[in-house]
A and B are shown apart, each in its own frame.
With several copies, the nearest count.
Chain A
Amino acid sequence: MQSSLVLQNLLSAPVLFFFLGILGVLVGSDLEIPAPLPKLFSLYLLLAIGFKGGMELAHSGLGSQVLLTIGAAVAMSLLVPLTSFLVLRLRLDGANAAAIAASYGSISAVTFITAESFLNVLEVGFDGFMVAALALMESPAIVVGVVLAKLSAVPEESESGGEQDGNGGLRWREVLQEAFLNGSVYLLVGSLVIGWVVATFSPAGLEKMDPFTEKLFYGALCFFLLDMGIVAAQRLRDLQKAGAFLIGFSLLAPPLHALAGLLVSVLLGLSQGNTLLFMVLCASASYIAVPAAMRMTVPQANPSLYISTALGLTFPFNVVIGIPLYMVLTRQFIPVG
């Protein structure tokens, strides 16, 4: 049973294309998907996942379990960076620890999407409101990360010239803007709202969106994962600089956070499908919204550390082994709906 789940995941088209990308880098192929094509697929996936989630949210409504689940998700995105920070601080300076912690508190939409595809193939149901949880987990971890970085920072010499504010304090406006108005967050949330509005007020439009947001989705995911494989493999080189501690962290944190997610799911009485998605949200680390935000707000942190851990190790781990592993656990602890 268990090994069959892992195998089923390994032999699915999205994961195979992910491998194709990784292998391409390892054997030295010059296959590349030049910018901004990966951005096209990334924008498309966010738009489609948001729209579909909003649509399903309109059908399921905002009941108390929905609100509880979303609330628990946001709580996890605040807690995970705190505990991660404590661990990372053992070996890293404040800025780097905070940036990596933010990344693990936030989520990876592509990991979530891959888990959805996995559930679809298994014909296990899940709810549209999980996309709302996904959307709302992106930003809080960013704010926590920035606060942690500031708190642990050695007061810098005051800068002069050029910059507008010389007071050295937190530039809240900038931080909140990076956290909540970051392009990927904004598109996901916006598409979610649009999907909800269209499903509620002009459902005739849903069918016309279907070929774009639904039918094309699986193939586009494969294409994007091909690129993610290339990028993840290129990131592996940076891991030498990261060292054994960070490698260990990026492989142990996901299953531990998934376990925490499982616990919460049991308490909330989530269905099997929703539990898997909740675990994946907790386990995954952001390599889109968070790096973009950290680059601006915590420039002292080294981007190659937080990108290479989240993208080079945690992402492949979750996509390849994590998702089926969490499903095995889900089946163990969650009764069939």
Chain B
Amino acid sequence: MKRIDLILSEREVNRVCKAITKAGAQGYSVMRHVTGLGLSGEISEAMDFSGLGANAHVIVFVDDDLLAAVGAAVRPLLKRYGGVGFVSTAEPL
């Protein structure tokens, strides 16, 4: 199986999750309130009161054959709104 880690703005997390499901993934997990540093600078939680939020960390465990579909669904969103994605290998416990 593959483990996909996506880190992107909280504002777009719903959109990304929809894309993931549409691509065929059976599940995902989301952690909000993630801060960090990336190409677009530092992200803190200080603007949380404004509804802008910080980052979210999305984890998706998928079978190997779904990786391409999820990647294709998510990549344009990351390109448009910012955020990063990484893949590693995992097995069911």
Contact residues of A with B, CB < 8 Å?
30, 34-36, 38-39, 41-42, 159-163, 182-184, 227, 230-231, 234, 238, 287-289, 291-292, 295-296, 299, 302-304, 307
Contact = CB atoms under 8 A, between A and B. Distances in A.
Given A35-B33, A159-B76, A161-B72, A234 B48 contact: no
B88 interface: no
Contact of A38 (B41, B48, B80): B48
The SS class assigned to the A binding surface is: helix
A160 B76 contact: yes
Given A161-B75, A162-B73, A287 B41 contact: no
Given A162-B77, A304-B41, A292 B50 contact: yes
A38 B20 CA distance: 29
Interface string B37-50: 00011001111111
Contact of A30 (B19, B51, B73, B77): B51
Majority SS at the chain B contact face: helix
B81 interface: yes
A288 B49 contact: yes
B56 interface: no
Contact of B49 (A38, A162, A296, A303): A38
A291 B43 CA distance: 14
B76 A163 contact: yes
Interface in B6-38: 9, 11-12, 19, 33
Interface residues of B, number: 27
B83 to A, nearest CB: 11
B11 A163 contact: no
Nearest to A294: B52
A161 B51 CA distance: 28
Contacts of B75: 161-162
A234 B52 CA distance: 16
B33 A292 contact: no
Which of B12, B41, B46 is the most central at the interface, judged by chain A CB atoms within 10 Å of its CB?
B46
27 contacts: A30-B51, A34-B45, A35-B49, A36-B48, A38-B48, A39-B48, A42-B49, A42-B50, A159-B76, A161-B72, A161-B75, A162-B19, A162-B73, A163-B76, A163-B77, A163-B80, A183-B51, A227-B49, A230-B46, A234-B46, A238-B41, A287-B50, A288-B51, A299-B80, A304-B41, A307-B47, A307-B52
